[in-house]
Amino acid sequence: MNATQASAPLGGSAPNAAGSVGVAYLLHLADNAVVLGQRNAEWCGHGPILEEDIALANVSLDHIGQARLLYQLAAARMGGGASEDSLAYFRDETAFRNYTLLELPHHGPLVGYAASDRDYAVTIVRNFFYGALMVLVWDALTRSADTDLAAIAAKSLKEARYHLHHAADWVVRLGDGTDESHARAQAAVDHLFRYTEEFWLPSPAETEAVASGIGVEVASLRAAWDALVDETLAEATLSRPAVRGYVPEGKLGRHSEHLGYLLGEMQGLARAHPGATW
């Protein structure tokens, strides 16, 4: 993203048959991608090994690229001077519609300003849970009635398959590794699993998108997601925790305290120099 100029959305274009109905849905998908991209980018220069430092940087770039395409498409349909930059950098946290899971820091349950070492197991398990979902979501969206979104989904699906492969491989390596790596991986699973409950309860934007033929009913993907997750956890000798009934509501704009800190860092430069060109 640059400071002022949005590129043309994928597919060209003015709104197609989907019209403006799917803007909120596009923002949900874009916010997921940009927030996780920002989180994973925090490992740049801090990876446990050089190869992983580079790998996570590339995963982050994939997510940012997905977010750009989605923000560009949403901005074109919103009009009124909206751009990819205004949507990423000049909305406050209550306007973001990302899953709470994706905004959590790379450690256990601490407040956002608490000092703690990054835990690679938390990062990997989060990427695994989200990657398993998005492989299914992007695949379904390749058949969306919104042809622009279907094109973005087809591109993103290829990236998501790699993201899932990378994360699942590391879940197995950590879970079926040393006593310490197993303990850290299990702690990460126990900490993060409850946040995946947000996947399955639809937001108004998702319900509207499904009704119009644009979106995918994510709840219909739960059995396939369970199968992907259970297979990898079993190979990793990790236990799946029981669901405790906690459902976060990040995609409704009700976030943890952590998103504000993340956006403060991500948006700081653009807000300090609005209208700047590079």
Residue 94 lies in a domain: yes
Domain membership of residue 59 (yes or no) is yes
Name the pTM for this structure: 0.88
pLDDT tens for each residue of 186-212: 999 999 999 999 999 999 999 999 999
* pLDDT tens digits along 155-178: 999 999 999 999 999 999 999 999
Supply the range of the domain harboring residue 257.
Answer: 23-239+249-272
Does any domain span residue 113? yes
Q: Compute the average pLDDT of residues 46-56.
A: 79
What is the domain-level CATH number for residue 71?
1.20.1260.10
Please report whether residue 139 resides in a domain. Answer: yes
Q: Does 77 map to a domain? A: yes
11, part of any domain: no
Give which of 67, 59, 41 is closest to 169, Cα–Cα. 59
Please report whether residue 5 resides in a domain. Answer: no
Considering its fold, how many domains does the chain have in total? 1
Task: Classify residue 12: in a domain, yes or no.
Answer: no
